[in-house]
Amino acid sequence: MYTIGVLSIDDNVHSNYVKELEGNNYVIQPLDHLHFLNQLDTVDTVLIDYSHNEYKKNDQLYEIIMTIKKQTNLFIWILLKESTKLDRLIFLQLGAGAVLDHTIQPDEFLIYLTNFFNNYSEKKEYLISPKIETPTPITLVPENISAILEGNITVYLTKIEYKLLNYLVQKKDQSATYTEIAHILWPTAEITFHHRTQIANIVFRLRQKIEQNPSKPCYIKTIRSVGYRIANRKTAQ
């Protein structure tokens, strides 16, 4: 299950395009224009949805796109009601991955996004960049915030998912407590029981991405009332 961060011109994330995604098991995370940077760790891609308003040149929007690209490697989708070649070129040059308009229907956009995630998370590829080798079937690649499973399946993660998985891998066969994990993910926060729920949600999303059967996880084991641990071999919990 993937999370899509949606930035809308009027904070209304319920355009027909977004409704189509919600109806097909995507998680929609509204992004705040002023505080979106604090939300990017929890999303898998960004959708800037101007499909229900006439687009006007917007320097603030340009700055948002450049900031997202500077801080993350997230793929950015732009949806416009109408677009010109100049509009599309500007957005692409700023770092957007795709610029679409009303000529693409919501059901078509769903296919675009689904195909993107299929390639994004399941394709087999050989990466030249240095890897962090581990004794588990998981290899972490910090350069593009991904995990390689069984040596050939690449799964791209959000920053916060990567931090959690990286910490579990570093612990090897030792359990990581909820408190330890919370301090890694939110080092400046006052840790409360609420963080335990947040950690469980992040692990849930991780399992959806890396486990063949998330209900019987082979990679991330739950240690009851304690926290989590990476399995040394593929043995179901």
In sign, the C-alpha dihedral spanning 200, 203, 209, 214 is: negative
94 within some domain:
yes
Give the Cα separation of 7 and 96 in Å (integer). Answer: 13
- Same domain (yes/no): 32, 110: yes
Give the neighbor-by-neighbor strand order of the sheet with 146-149: 138-141, 146-149, 153-156
77 within some domain:
yes
pLDDT at position 129 is 42
- Same domain (yes/no): 97, 157: no
Of 49, 50, 72, 58, nearest to 156 by C-alpha is: 72
- Please give the residue range of the domain that contains residue 35: 3-122
- Same domain (yes/no): 157, 112: no
- Same domain (yes/no): 182, 94: no
224 within some domain:
yes
Which tokens sit at 121? Answer: 């998370």
- Same domain (yes/no): 38, 91: yes
237 within some domain:
no
- Verdict on whether the full-model pTM lies above 0.85: no
- Same domain (yes/no): 142, 225: yes
Helix (H) or strand (E) holding 29, with range, is strand 27-30
192 within some domain:
yes
Are 74 and 46 contacting, i.e. CB atoms less than 8 angstroms apart? yes
pLDDT at position 127 is 36
Q: Which of 122, 147, 168 is the last residue of a domain?
A: 122
pLDDT at position 120 is 66
Are 15 and 52 contacting, i.e. CB atoms less than 8 angstroms apart? yes
Are 125 and 138 contacting, i.e. CB atoms less than 8 angstroms apart? no
Amino acid identity of residue 210, one-letter, is I
Dmax (CA) of the chain: 56
pLDDT at position 234 is 43
- Number of domains forming the structure of the chain: 2
131 within some domain:
no
- Same domain (yes/no): 73, 168: no
| β pairing state of 3-8 and 45-50 | parallel
29 within some domain:
yes
Q: Which domain CATH number covers 97?
A: 3.40.50.2300
Which tokens sit at 154? Answer: 């690449």
Which tokens sit at 19? Answer: 């409704």
Q: Chunk the chain into consecutive blocks of 10 residues (it has 237) and report each block's average pLDDT, rounded to whole numbers.
A: 83 77 88 83 89 72 87 90 88 91 92 85 42 62 89 88 94 89 91 88 92 86 88 50
44 within some domain:
yes
